[in-house]
Amino acid sequence: MDFRADPGLEAFRETVRQFLREKVPADLLGLPRCTRSPREQIMRWQKLLNAHGWGAPYWPREHGGTGWSVAQMLIFDDECTAAGTPTQDGFVQKMLGPVLNAFATPEQKAEHLPATLDGERLWCQGFSEPGAGSDLASLRTRAVLVKSSDGDHYVVNGQKIWTSYAHHADWIFMLVRTDTSVKKQAGISFLLVDMKTPGITVRPIRSIDDAHHLNETFFENVRVPAKNLIGAEGAGWSITKFLLNNEHATTADLPDIKRYMRELNRMATTLRAGEGRLIDQPAFALKLARLTAEQEAIGMLVQRVANLEMRHDPASHVLGSMLKVRATELQQRITEAQVEALGDYGALAYAHPHEASPVPPYPLQDMARGVANDMFLRRAATIYGGTSEVQRGIIAKLQFQL
């Protein structure tokens, strides 16, 4: 792979920077660090991007995307993260969008894609259940088809858990069991459900970073039009494999890794430790050098995996699992190093940047705000998107098939 600067890519970077300078209002720039922006910001940002033709940076042109190369997508992510823009709805960009593009009927696309791309419809993912996480095929939420003169519909009963941002979502894409008489994978279907449908209850789960990202979502006799089924009944498992195989490169959260490293470098060069700066301490300088080298390695692996994914090369699965393990462990180590760099101030669990802060002003708050929260949140990175243990199992199994 050639890592020399490409003049075409540098021109593209300048195009993105120009857009950020000239088209983005000041209140959508320089926003506090977070892995997911508040609902209103996501919606405004999505609308703005869509109006500029950049509503789907990760999709091919034939599906209304930008058709950008992997390198261009990474530059776009980099520049937006550095400028502190809101995040996009990751569920749409990396999961649901590719599924709709590949499996939805023209009517389903017409119903969901325009509103979603214009930022009017946010989504959440309803896969995991109590008792069905790593072993997803054991899910039990039941959907029974009822034929009726006023339109065929499914009646859904069951519970999902860890439903990130269900409290902000307009719709959920979920897996349901439509057949209990066949092999468990064969009885699963993929359904789209309007979160305003009667019978849905969302209950918050407060997480270790002291914020509300997660929920339990209950379904009690929820009536879902049969036209909301994606693909055939029983095709949910193969659609899910398609969805999960599509997201390897993005599980690295490379823009966040880079942002964490920029912040850590700033801490190392400005914070005092004894007589000198933190970076003058050999032990911390060595730690910083190691983390920097790993960040570079992850950056190269992301490009490699993304290129393989674009070609639908099966090698992307084993390398993607390696990337997930190494990148999420790196996220944890960098955020831990930030807390360590901040000393006593890093040990406090500060309020989440988007929630009312009960904490009075404190020293270093510009640098420290949100750092402990991110360190706590990233403890979950080796769990969500498939645990590290499960990824290691996949690596062990797949490497013999290459």
Residues in the chain: 402
- One symbol per residue from 149 to 168: x for binding ligand FAD (CB under 6 A), - otherwise; what is it? -------------xxx----
Query: Which CB, 153 or 378, lies closer to ligand FAD?
Result: 378
Which residue has its beta carbon closest to ligand FAD? Answer: 133
The C-alpha atoms of residue 75 and residue 44 are separated, in whole angstroms, by: 21
User: Does 331 interact with ligand FAD (rule: CB under 6 A)?
Assistant: no
Residues 272, 361, 376, CA angle at the centre, nearest 5°? 75
Pairing state between β 123-126 and 171-177: parallel
Q: What minimum distance in Å lies between the beta carbon of 132 and ligand FAD?
A: 7
- One symbol per residue from 261 to 300: x for binding ligand FAD (CB under 6 A), - otherwise; what is it? ----------------------------------------
Q: Which stretch binds ligand FAD (CB under 6 A): 24-32, 102-110, 142-150, 383-391?
A: 383-391
- Kindly tell me which residue out of 128, 316, 328, 338 binds ligand FAD, with binding defined by CB under 6 A: 128
Query: Which CB, 145 or 390, lies closer to ligand FAD?
Result: 390
As given in the structure block, the two tokens for residue 199 are 């019978």
User: Does 244 interact with ligand FAD (rule: CB under 6 A)?
Assistant: no
User: Does 125 interact with ligand FAD (rule: CB under 6 A)?
Assistant: yes
Query: Which CB, 50 or 328, lies closer to ligand FAD?
Result: 328
Q: What minimum distance in Å lies between the beta carbon of 379 and ligand FAD?
A: 9
Q: Does the annotation count 294 as an active-site position?
A: no
Q: What minimum distance in Å lies between the beta carbon of 230 and ligand FAD?
A: 16
The C-alpha atoms of residue 135 and residue 204 are separated, in whole angstroms, by: 23
Query: Which CB, 293 or 396, lies closer to ligand FAD?
Result: 396
Query: Which CB, 206 or 227, lies closer to ligand FAD?
Result: 206
- For 367, half-sphere exposure in the C-beta direction (CA atoms, 13 angstrom radius) is 20
Q: Which stretch binds ligand FAD (CB under 6 A): 25-33, 38-46, 114-122, 128-136?
A: 128-136
Q: What minimum distance in Å lies between the beta carbon of 129 and ligand FAD?
A: 8
- Kindly tell me which residue out of 384, 394, 395, 398 binds ligand FAD, with binding defined by CB under 6 A: 384
Q: What minimum distance in Å lies between the beta carbon of 283 and ligand FAD?
A: 32
User: Does 373 interact with ligand FAD (rule: CB under 6 A)?
Assistant: no
- Binding residues for ligand FAD restricted to 210-229, rule: CB under 6 A: 214
SS (H, E, C) the chain: CCCCCCHHHHHHHHHHHHHHHHCCCHHHCCCCCCCCCCHHHHHHHHHHHHHCCCCCCCCCHHHCCCCCCHHHHHHHHHHHHHHCCCCCCHHHHHHHHHHHHHHCCHHHHHHHHHHHHCCCCCEEEECCECCECCCHHHCCCEEEEECCCCCCEEEEEEEEECCCCHHHCCEEEEEEECCCCCCHHHHEEEEEEECCCCCEEEEEECCCCCCCCEEEEEEEEEEEEHHHEECCCCCHHHHHHHHHHCCCHHHHCHHHHHHHHHHHHHHHHHCEECCEEHHHCHHHHHHHHHHHHHHHHHHHHHHHHHHHHHCCCCHHHHHHHHHHHHHHHHHHHHHHHHHHHCHHHHHCCCCCCCCCCCCCCCCCHHHHCCHHHHHHHHHHHHCCCCCHHHHHHHHHHHCCCC
The C-alpha atoms of residue 72 and residue 380 are separated, in whole angstroms, by: 29
Burial of 198 (0-12, 13-18, 19+ CB in 10 A): exposed
Which among 247, 263, 294, 309 is annotated as catalytic?
247
User: Does 133 interact with ligand FAD (rule: CB under 6 A)?
Assistant: yes
User: Does 134 interact with ligand FAD (rule: CB under 6 A)?
Assistant: yes
Q: Which stretch binds ligand FAD (CB under 6 A): 28-36, 112-120, 329-337, 378-386?
A: 378-386
User: Does 376 interact with ligand FAD (rule: CB under 6 A)?
Assistant: no
Q: What minimum distance in Å lies between the beta carbon of 72 and ligand FAD?
A: 28
Query: Which CB, 134 or 270, lies closer to ligand FAD?
Result: 134
Binding site for ligand FAD (CB under 6 A): 125-128, 133-134, 162-164, 214, 380, 383-384, 386-387, 389-390, 393
Catalytic residue numbers read 247
